[in-house]
Amino acid sequence: MKIISVILARGGSKGIPRKNLIDLNGFPLIYHSIKASLNSNVDETWVSSDDDEILKVSHSFGAKTLKRYEDTSNDYASSESALLHFADNVEFDKLVFIQPTSPLIKSKDINKGIVKTLDCDSVFSGYEEHWTGKWDLNLKPRGWSIESRPRRQDIPPIYIENGAFYITSKTNLLSSKLRYSGKIDIVLMPFIRSFQIDTLNDLNLIRKICQ
């Protein structure tokens, strides 16, 4: 059973230019997910990117690299298209798809996910959220009424994907063309480690958390 990870890191990020290489407490952002993967129980850690500098930096931190091209790395390409490109070029049995925008991931999170796949087909990371009032952009309550506001303890909590990682088999990936399919389970991570970096505000917040 060969278990490998892949970190998808394109060069054309919009919210934060060159995001995957931006400094986060002395190291480029992508270093943190590479480190978590290398310290986990995966057999190989890969980075897939269209950007030569990202590939060079990733290799210097110990990752194997795969170059991908425009149709799987432009603004309209899905992560699934890049995962399928990866699956066409690299041999594995199980795949841990890690997103570099979640630098607070730890190797123990990945290891928990690998263990869970012994009893299911796919795993994703997330956290538990308790009920709070949510409103749409027209200031209309979503799924509740102001006339009968529920109590927090009366509404069951829900799971929220935090985007840190997903695990599936090569067989399921190729047949479903999805990052998860079949029987799905979750690895719960604490909310404080579930932030993703999409904006400069996110980056500044995580810099403070990591201090």
Q: Catalytic residue positions?
A: 149
CA distance 157 to 20: 33
* DSSP letters spanning 33-62: HHHHHHTTT-SEEEEEES-HHHHHHHHHTT
In the sheet that holds 184-188, the strands lie side by side as 64-67, 44-49, 3-8, 94-98, 158-169, 122-129, 184-188
CA distance 10 to 21: 10
Closest CA to 19 of 46, 67, 66, 53: 53
Whether the Cβ atoms of residue 109 and residue 187 lie closer than 8 Å to each other: yes
